[in-house]
Structure formats: structure tokens, C-alpha cells
Amino acid sequence: MFINEVCTLMCDDIRIENTNKLILIGLYTPNPATPIPIIGVRGLPLSIPSLTFFQLLDTDMNETRTFQARIEHLDTGRMAAPVLNGQIQLAPGRVPNLIKFTGISITK
């Protein structure tokens, strides 16, 4: 039994069309120096209305699993948004997962 992350994309928001296509709005792209996207800011405090993550997972499981997601300041350990508890229905193959944080605030 396995779950592997194929990719994770970070953007401002994700919309789902009537045809079930996803529209990623404000996609953050990786910095050449780091493998992860970086949000450039002019200063703190910083307030972000929403931050959304699209994950594509590869699995051989067929079950519902729970997960917890959080945005944590690496230097201070403070939570920048409320911790999200969620569920994902896994099925063998590639499974998408959407995680949306709102009301993000970073002070220092």
C-alpha cells in the first residue's frame, strides 16, 4: 500500500468549471534557486486572502483517508492560518486533492 506525491502546485485560487476542468488562478512558480514557490513581499505584516494547493497523488489504495494541512512560519513556528482537517477518497491510480487556506496573516 502506498501514496506518492506526483506534484503540488500553489496558487491564489482554483475554480472548477461545469465540465470539471480546473482553472488555477495566480499560479506561484518555483524560484530557480529553490524547488518550491516563493511568495515575494515588500514587508510585513502580510495578509493573503486565500492560498490554494493542488496535489496530484499516486496510490494503490481504495479507501477514505484523513489528513491535516497547515501553514507554519519556519522561523517562529507560528501558524499563519487555521489548521485544516480534511478527508480524501483514494482510488488506485492518480488522485487529485485541493486544499484551500483563507485569512492568512504573517506578522514577523
C-alpha cell at 100: 484551500
Query: pLDDT: is 98 or 107 the higher one?
Result: 98
What global pTM score does this model have? 0.84
Torsion 90-91-94-97 (CA) sign: negative
pLDDT of 23? 96
pLDDT of 20? 92
* Averaged pLDDT of the chain: 88
User: Within 13 Å, how many C-alpha atoms sit on residue 54's CB side?
Assistant: 16
Nearby residues of 34 by Cβ (< 8 Å), 6 or more positions away: none
pLDDT of 57? 96
* pLDDT tens-digit map of 48-88: 899 999 999 999 999 999 999 998 877 788 888 899 999 99
